[in-house]
Amino acid sequence: MPEDELSRSSHSNPGKSLVNGIKTNPASNSPKSSLSVPMGPPVYVDLAYIPNHCSGKNTDPEFFKRVRASYYVVSGNDAANGEPSRAVLDALLEGKSQWGENLQVTLIPTHDTEVTREWYQQTHEKQQELNIMVLASSSTVVMQDESFPACKIEF
């Protein structure tokens, strides 16, 4: 759309603007609310990687209500940037509580962080109630001069 048409469309429709061709309400600066996704049935997958290193920027309870996984991978190890986010881990509990079925879920943290340890300890009863298991990093892979924690996942 040429710039003059974009300008006219913004003036003819006050309170609305275009973001990637979608009309949005500029009063809401939240990316989650500016691009609404129509509701649909949940998606069931074996393995889901929690987006953005488990940062609260893109993941909320709605993610866990709609993306139902047997295994969720949490890979955040940057406390300064809020990774992993306690809010995202809590969102897993909130989202899973609304599934209506008590399917087994396994959470796989790729790093042992203070946030995940505290969350695990403080919400352990709720995890058990919701049939959520958190894998500890008890295995180590050694390759050349490097070693790192590993998990084996079987489907």
- Tokens matching residue 66: 């709609």
Q: Kindly tell me if the per-residue pLDDT of 60 is higher than 80.
A: yes
| Helix axes of 86-96 and 114-122: crossing angle, nearest 10 degrees | 40
Strand pairing partners for 13?
Answer: none
Indicate the pTM of the whole model: 0.64
Strands ordered across the beta sheet of 67-74 = 43-49, 67-74, 105-109, 132-134
What are the sequence ranges of the domains in the chain? 41-147
Express each pLDDT in 121-131 by its tens digit.
999 999 999 99
Q: Which of 72-86, 87-101, 139-153 has the lowest mean pLDDT?
A: 139-153
Contact 108, 153 (CB under 8 A): yes
**What would the pLDDT profile of 30-58 be if each residue is shown by its tens digit?**
444 444 556 789 999 999 988 765 656 67
For 6, 26, 43, the CA distances from 3, given in Å and listed in that order, are: 5, 19, 39
* Contacting residues for 44 by C-beta, under 8 A, at least 6 apart: 68, 69
